[in-house]
Amino acid sequence: MSSAAPAPSPAPSGRGARINPANRFEPITVAADPDFVEFDEHGVPVERPLPRTQFFDDASESILTANDSPDVRAAWGLNPYRGCEHGCAYCFARPYHDYLGWSSGLDFETKILVKRHAPELLRRELGARKWRPETVMISGVTDCYQPAERRFRLTRACLEVFAEFRNPVALITKNFLVTRDRDVLAELARWQCATVVLSVTTLDAALAGRLEPRAARPEHRLRAIRLLAEAGVPVGVNVAPVIPGLNDHELPAILEAARDAGARRAGYILLRLPHAVKDVFVDWLDAHEPGKKERVLSRVRAMRGGQLYDARFGTRGRGEGIFAEQLRQVFAVTTRRLGLNREEFPLSTAHFRQPGGVQLELL
């Protein structure tokens, strides 16, 4: 009696990627044989175990990273974690795991580096004589409120340090867990030192579950906007990424839902597929949206000069061509109709202080 091999599942449960693309810096690659199926003594196929999340200590000796990208307003960035359990299939940060000798695929979601000393490093760097207060962005690479934050609470501890110094901070996330810290964020906002942006990709909970398996569902992100706004924290929405042929038609509806929840500013970012991210995302399309695959990829190429990615500053977040211009116009018309982006969220360094409450004289 023979048993047919089972059809492969779209992805391991709770994961956005089902593959580990080759590391571009490593000459040797280990890959599972997709045709290999193990059977038990009764001839029943044995499922492969689900990959578990592993946490590793990050030995970084500094926590603030200078930013020289013209696409990002903040001059400094802070990331308490490397890798992200959210498992978003499109995440542009996946290739950073290549520098660690791992993969941009499942490794990025299951091997998380934890900067346990982030609060102490931050206090040391903000207290240094050479530090001149500037806005710091948290989550410039991976989400600071990913599931690991419930366990390690590093983002909360860093926010408390920012509140101690009254140094301005901008934060972007797609997790409802940010509402846990609205007390600290409200205290920072009282000194014009905090702003939060919720990233919303789709209003379709089923699509979000496939695309961003361990991130908060859309309704919870909108509720987070409401709770933060009610706490007095300036809050905005980022429709990101806009995936042409998949979620681009949702742009007006997302902006309106966010405005109704309390968002006062809005932005959007076009899908970015650097390095192995394109492999993970194309594989995701094969598994979840095979009927839309060619349309999505052809639209991406039309907005990227015939390629799946264009890394140039200024265009990588917006694209070029007729479809990119249509998207820009839809965004402009919708935000104008909804009254979004009529005010800035200026952050102030005027109240920065040294430990002990000594006010600095800023030049």
Predicted confidence (pLDDT) per residue in 287-301, tens digit:
999 999 999 999 999
Q: Looking at residue 141, what is its pLDDT?
A: 86
d(CA 192, CA 185) in angstroms, rounded, equals 10
For the ranges 14-18, 98-102, 242-246, which has the lowest average pLDDT? 14-18
Q: Looking at residue 36, what is its pLDDT?
A: 61
d(CA 299, CA 244) in angstroms, rounded, equals 6
Angle between helices 118-126 and 154-165 (to 10 degrees): 20
Place of tokens 């040391």: 124
| Ranges 11-15, 27-31, 61-65, most confident | 61-65
Of residues 3 and 160, more confidence is placed in: 160
Q: What is the C-alpha radius of gyration for the chain, rounded to an integer number of angstroms?
A: 22
Confidence of residue 70 (pLDDT cuts 50, 70, 90): confident
Report whether pLDDT(53) > 60: yes
Report whether pLDDT(236) > 70: yes
Cα–Cα nearest to 268, from 362, 212, 185, 202: 202
Place of tokens 């949702």: 250
- Vertex 320 angle, CA 317 and 323, to 5°: 100
d(CA 354, CA 73) in angstroms, rounded, equals 25
Report whether pLDDT(37) > 80: no
Q: Looking at residue 2, what is its pLDDT?
A: 39
Cα–Cα nearest to 31, from 19, 49, 39: 19
Kind and range of the H or E run holding 178: none
d(CA 213, CA 11) in angstroms, rounded, equals 10
Q: Looking at residue 80, what is its pLDDT?
A: 97
The tens digit of pLDDT for each residue in 333-362 reads 999 999 999 998 899 999 999 876 545 444
pTM of the predicted model as reported, rounded to 2 decimal places: 0.89
- Sorted by where each starts, the structural domains of the chain and their CATH numbers stand as 38-46+55-342 (3.20.20.70)
User: Is there a contact between 218 and 205 (Cβ–Cβ < 8 Å)?
Assistant: yes
To the nearest 10°, report the CA torsion of 59, 171, 92, 265: -170
Q: Give the length of the chain.
A: 363
| Bridge pairing between strands 81-82 and 111-114 | antiparallel
